[in-house]
Amino acid sequence: MTRFAYLPWHDGPDPLAPPVDLRAALDQIGRDVMEGSSPRAALEELLRQGVRGTRGLDDMTRRLWQQRARLQRRNRLDGTLQEVQRLLQEALEAERRHLFPDPSDDARFREAQLDALPPGTAAQVQELANYDWQSPQGRDNYQKIQDMLGQELMESRFRGMKQALQDATPEDVERVREMMSDLNDLLAAHARGDADTQQRFEEFMRKHGEFFPENPRNVDELIDALAARAAAAQRMMNSMSAEQRAELSSLIQQAFGDPRLASEISRLDAHLQALRPGEDWTSSGRFRGQNPFGMGEGVQAMQDLAEMDALAEQLGQAYPGARLEDIDLEALERQLGPESAVDARRLSELERALRDQGLLERAADGSLRLSPKAMRRLGETALKDVVKSLSSRRGERDTARAGAAGEPTGSSRPWQFGDTEPWEVSRTVHNAVLRSASSGGTVTLDVKDVEVIETEQRARAAVALCVDTSWSMVQDGRWLPMKRTALALHHLVKTRFRSDALELITFGRYATKVDMAELTALEGVWEQGTNLHHALLLAGRHIRRHPDAQPVVIVVTDGEPTAHLEPDGDAEFNYPPLPRTLRLTLAEVDKLARLGASVSVFMLGEDERLKAFVDIMARRSGGRVVAPDLDGLGAAVVSDYLRNRQG
């Protein structure tokens, strides 16, 4: 019988996980870019904040620092000292209880020995090394002290050794001492540069490989693992008080009752410091909690602190050439759990996908910028938002078709009463066959099978979109809606009405023609002046370059004209507006009207002087004034464009 087992997936990314949401990520990056961020800064902000369903780097860093603070706030490093003191106190009390009822001189002599013990736990343990215990509990406790010191000492240099040495026999201790001696000989040979070092390493691993579950492949990997642990042990000692440090250094001489083991550890530390001076051997940490850590736990805590510091640097991405691939996912999982490793992997995949799919590209100066593909996607999203707004505001069916005089769009739609477009024969027959086959009868044609070719009018338009980029647009939160409006109109023209000629014109103190990428990345700059005169002048030039097209002029502004262009090319600013500024601006409106262009003004804000001026513009050009809210600006502009391009 075939058996199946369901286990967690560990071989790379989860193959069943949903794909990264590039569209949502690009929308967020595009929004930040349109608000004035650079594409690189926008990407970094996205990675810091995360996306829906994936926590960002800032959240991981915050939880990492919380974990680090908890580790130091809740624990202390003198657990081994406290346990030795407890076991020793119990041993001495048990020994005195055993000696008290004994009337012999030997008992009194032993009591005198105990009374003459020097102060300090380490000194007493050392003094009692050759004492002949009479109490079974005292003898057992003293043996526990020696065994515990040996286990903690080995755990501080070899992770997992404490459990392996539970109930260790003298033969086990001798095997550990022999391994330490062979290890020191191997490191000494490596330091000398002996030619047979790799051969000696392989022989060492065959003999003592059980002590190294990491399974290093060469001497350098072995040294790296040992040095990281030994440096953490040294940092733990540095973190203790001078008195605690002296006590512990003396106590470990009694590890397993064999001073030779402590001597081998000292040799090992000297070799590792010489071979890996770049490890952190000098720093310390402050532990101020109530939970006592033994030596092994303390060393692990110091390694965890170092690992969290390295992870915080990786998550910060503040160093040159930083990439999310730098994050150690295994370390992140150890410190914050598997969910954080999954989030970091997904962010890395998102960053890679944005680059690999051509949404971000390098400019000539080496900086990141949104690619044309990304601009198209942003425009598509902006236009969808506009269409959604139009649909919710007007319960009308699609009116893009224009009867038999139109041109095919490449798609078809079901016939409706009053339609005069040609039938889409293949779709009509296809529908009839499917319907008849489902009923099992012969193929017949029904009116509900009929589809007609969708057509639309192809009248060409010359469109000038003039957008106010004065500081008030930034200050009053109109900057982003203005850019999204331009993006939606630009995408509509480039995809639906490719024959139309669209020109984007920005105006502050001066007016200038820009492409969509420039407008998207345009940063708000503080300057005085709303030079609508210059903007309409450029709009007129654009209209005259396309005499065969329907002229459409759209103005988005939140302030009355306060600047005009002098014949020498300089802009003159004044507030309140000079009569000359108003006259020159209205003169351009009149010129546009003579070209057949009405000017539609989309007025943002409640400026009474602006209201009065744009009303005059509308009357002089035959245009209209619209005062949309910011959420409805895009829908209003696109709707006006569609209305005006029909002539």
pLDDT of 499 reads 87
Contact 113, 138 (CB under 8 A): no
Interval 206-262: pLDDT, tens: 999 888 888 899 999 999 999 999 999 999 999 999 999 999 999 988 888 888 888
pLDDT at 366: 60
- Which pLDDT value is given to residue 350? 82
SS (H, E, C) 388-420: HHHHHHCCCCCCCCCHHHCEEEEEEEECCCCCC
Q: Is the pLDDT at 3 greater than 70, yes or no?
A: no
Task: Indicate the average pLDDT of the chain.
Answer: 85
- Structure confidence at residue 10 (pLDDT): 56
Mean pLDDT across 269-288: 92
pLDDT (0 to 100) of residue 167? 79
Q: Which two tokens stand for residue 405?
A: 């005089």
Domains by residue range for the chain, with CATH: 168-276 (no CATH), 415-451 (no CATH), 461-645 (3.40.50.410)
Interatomic CA distance for residues 375 and 385, integer angstroms: 15
- Strand 50-51 to 54-55 pairing: antiparallel
DSSP assignment, residue 325? G
For 329, the 3-state DSSP assignment is helix
Pairing of strands 54-55, 563-565: unpaired
pLDDT of residue 14: 57
- pLDDT recorded at residue 362: 67
**Strands 360-362, 563-565: parallel, antiparallel or unpaired by DSSP?**
unpaired
Name, in order, each residue with C-beta under 8 angstroms of 402's C-beta and a sequence gap of 6 or more.
455, 456, 457
Percent of the chain predicted with pLDDT > 90 = 44
Per the listing, tokens 């960053």 go with 351
> What single DSSP character describes residue 116?
T
The reported pLDDT for the residue numbered 134 is 93
Query: Can you tell me the distance from the alpha carbon of 505 to that of 486, in angstroms, rounded to the nearest whole number?
Result: 10
Start-to-end CA distance of the chain, whole Å, equals: 77
- List the single range of 60-64, 302-306, 581-585, 607-611 with lowest mean pLDDT: 607-611
Nearest CA among 617, 615, 481, 457 for reference residue 536: 617
Lowest mean pLDDT segment, chosen from 10-24, 55-69, 150-164, 620-634: 10-24
Cα gap 272→347, rounded to integer Å: 37
Reported as a pLDDT band with limits 50, 70 and 90, residue 389 is low
Name which residue leads in pLDDT, 538 or 605: 538
**Least confident segment among 82-86, 136-140, 607-611:** 607-611
